[in-house]
Chain A
Amino acid sequence: NAGVTQTPKFRVLKTGQSMTLLCAQDMNHEYMYWYRQDPGMGLRLIHYSVGEGTTAKGEVPDGYNVSRLKKQNFLLGLESAAPSQTSVYFCASSWGVTDAFFGQGTRLTVV
């Protein structure tokens, strides 16, 4: 099993550009999450989903949108990238609010 797969692994964007990060899980998990991780700070929840077709805002949702059209996929969109969105993004999935499985991360730089 692949677990949780994120694409791309690295990306450089110019300010104002848009992009979509893709997360795919093959464990049939209901819950999926998008986090960002910045130096010296804990993981911060951007958006999450408790099932196919549902999404909810986390701690830092501004500037991001998400969609969960299929149970196995959770997409994170940046409509107009800003330098403050330079970060490492992690996707995770879980059966419920218990142990989470993480992807390898996407390192995004906005210049």
Chain B
Amino acid sequence: SQKIEQNSEALNIQEGKTATLTCNYTNYSPAYLQWYRQDPGRGPVFLLLIRENEKEKRKERLKVTFDTTLKQSLFHITASQPADSATYLCALVSPRSNYQLIWGAGTKLIIKP
């Protein structure tokens, strides 16, 4: 079956450290992959997009990598802060999905002071 998997367990990170979240997919050849942040009771907010021909994308303290061989994207937050605590969702777009977003269930990130 077609799947996008994110770690369902919460990730606890000490403030100031780098947080790394994983998004794995099967049975897709994504055209591109997106990362979103979702706070409790709010809608997702777009963070970064990476295309299939890109290995890495950066935006301020955020970095996304895309390995089409491993079928995996990693999302990094450097110098993490308590305000970074949220659930992070990955979503991919593929011809197989009729170019609609297919979503992972998200990973909850907790940054401890």
Residues of A within 8 A of B (CB): 4, 33, 35, 40-45, 48, 58, 90, 92, 97-105
CA distance A4 to B43 in the complex (A): 10
Q: How far is the CB of B46 from chain A (nearest CB, A)?
A: 4
- Chain A interface, DSSP helix/strand/loop, else mixed: loop
CA distance A102 to B103 in the complex (A): 14
Chain B residues contacting A101 (CB-CB under 8 Å) are 46
Asked if B45 lies at the interface with its beta carbon under 8 angstroms from chain A, I say: yes
Known: A97-B93, A99-B34, A99-B49. Is A42-B103 also a contact (CB below 8 A)?
yes
The answer to whether A42 touches B105, judged by C-beta atoms less than 8 angstroms apart, is yes
The answer to whether B104 touches A42, judged by C-beta atoms less than 8 angstroms apart, is yes
CA distance A45 to B93 in the complex (A): 13
Interface string of B1-45 (1 = CB under 8 A from A): 000100010000000000000000000000000100000011111
Q: How far is the CB of B40 from chain A (nearest CB, A)?
A: 11
The answer to whether B99 touches A97, judged by C-beta atoms less than 8 angstroms apart, is yes
The answer to whether A102 touches B43, judged by C-beta atoms less than 8 angstroms apart, is yes
